[in-house]
A and B are shown apart, each in its own frame.
Chain A
Amino acid sequence: MSSPDLSVLIGGVRFKNPVLAASGCFGYGSEMEPLIPASLFGGVVTKTILESRRPGNGAPRIIETPSGLINSIGLEGVGIDRYLDEMVPKLTGVDTRLVVSVGGHDIEEFARLAARLDRVDRVDALELNISCPNVDGGTDFSTDPDLAAATVRAVRRVTGKPIWAKLTPNVSRISVIGQACEKAGADALSAVNTFTGMSIDIHTGRMILPRGAGGTSGPAIRPLALAKVWELVRNVGIPVVGIGGIATGHDVIEFLITGASAVQLGTVLYIDPNSPRTALAGLTEHLASRGMSTVRDLIGTLKGRQERRPHS
């Protein structure tokens, strides 16, 4: 049997496979060559781009926790001009979709950036980072359904490229935000950004990160993220891209069965450069062993818990 078709369609754009690199974990797409070639992924999501260069937060910026990582990088980045001049050309001819993560201090900045990126052919989709926990006001855009919708609407007006809204999990009902984004014209939802987390130094009694709390990622959040994805897929009609501690073939399959149309690998890219290859191999093997000719046969096939049969 020929190997299964791994391609998925999100917002009218075809991705050759459903495993993407998550924003903030793969730079601007080419820096990890040759350890992790961008062409392994169906797509790469860039570090969040803002209009200006940002130096980011002071040290320390990361703390390791059990099976997790708390970061407070603070949207360090080169700014849109240098991004377009230097980073985009490096992905010319590389066989992967380019999803640009767009940030903003206000709705107008999101829209101005989207308007510029709309004119760049290499850019396949925009992921709106309305949920960065490490800058003032960063998560506000995705904890308030009206503000989230207004951001998506403002970007929708200036671009024909697919819009993905990246949601924070730090809300009681993520589907309320997801529905607001869908109604405002989002083509897909990326779920989830990091969970607010904190760790302190008990010997000094001081907080470790300069801002106190940061964003938690890694295997520790995977079940939490999966539950958020499950809530979304039951309540919205647009594709959901699953993110949160996904590291292995098992994890990819878990999110796809639950209903995610694709997934993003994040923290694991810091740890295991082979993870994209092994995750894709695990997915391919799973499909083949079940006689599925396309990954689309797997997506959203979640079944309810089997009822125990009464003893006969």
Chain B
Amino acid sequence: MALSSRAIACRATVVEQIETQPGFFRLVCRVPAAFADPLPGQFVQLRLNDRSDPLLPRPYGIVDFRRQSDHAIFELYYGVVGAGTKILARYRPPDSIACIGPLGRGYTFDPGREAILVAGGRGVAPLLMLYAAERPKGRAIPFVYGFRTAALAFGLDRIEESDRRIATDDGSMGVHGNALQVLAGLPERLLSSATLYACGPEILLEKTARFALERGIPCQVSLEAPFACGVGICRGCAVPAAAHDGYLMCCSDGPVFSADEIRWDAMP
């Protein structure tokens, strides 16, 4: 798969880094005007330092993107989970980070069907961007969002109250349960006329995909797999394909896939 010719390599200058909740950060960066408009679901690769450890750049899904006079701004949302995010959390304005983007295949919004967004935890990030792009067009978009506990909610202020369908593991907000239970509880009439757009932990994505496949409704999921390059060259992020005995590349064929493109039984 050829690299998206829209991607550029540039410096992303930190404009704002805020710890929204303990261990979770909102990062706003300025990039040159040549940075192409990302689609919801696309990502950037950030090289976290110019040393060799950690060696590989890391992918981060874009939450928001705006053009300003002679530059552009993107926003990321991440939790500190490993060596890479630990370094990223130390960046402060006006530090700059080596960046490549926008990369990958994003969500393809289907205006002919209702839309339901299904987010788990930090997976809310790209769906907030999809929501922000489509909700202003007028139609309600139910936003199913499951997370651990009320204190970890991110971006709720960007979701119309009437669209929110919240679940928490501890019951501190919304339904006591998970996103899938909330999804399954939506009216059948809505479900059968909708396309699902999902992002979150793999278990949630697989269950959401199977839920959609059983009902014969379209579903797009944003997958994660370890990769080095982010552009389809290293062939590291193999995702088993449904259409043949081979693999799709998470970074360049995805990260957003239609649920029926994936051989779920062969997922690692």
Contacts and interface: CB of A to CB of B under 8 A. Distances in A.
Interface residues of A, dominant DSSP: loop
A61 B240 contact: no
Contacts of A67: 52-53, 55
Contacts, number: 112
B9 A62 contact: no
A35 B101 CA distance: 10
Interface in B224-240: 225-240
A60 B7 CA distance: 26
Given A31-B3, A272-B98, A61 B238 contact: yes
Interface in B108-150: none
Interface residues on B, range: 35 or more
A205 interface: no
Contacts of A25: 233-234
Contacts of B245: 55
A31 B55 CA distance: 22
A269 B234 CA distance: 9
A218 interface: yes
Contacts of A273: 9, 100
A219 B9 contact: no
A304 interface: no
A64 B235 CA distance: 14
Interface residues of B, dominant DSSP: loop
Interface residues on A, range: 35 or more
A201 to B, nearest CB: 12
Given A67-B53, A76-B247, A267-B228, A62 B234 contact: yes
B56 interface: yes
A35 B36 CA distance: 14
Contacts of B1: 31
28 contacts: A27-B233, A30-B2, A31-B3, A31-B232, A31-B233, A33-B2, A33-B3, A35-B3, A35-B9, A35-B100, A56-B247, A58-B238, A59-B225, A59-B237, A59-B268, A60-B225, A60-B226, A60-B268, A61-B236, A61-B237, A63-B226, A68-B55, A69-B228, A218-B55, A267-B55, A269-B229, A269-B233, A271-B57
Interface of A: 25-27, 30-35, 53, 55-64, 66-69, 71, 73, 76, 218-220, 247, 267, 269-274
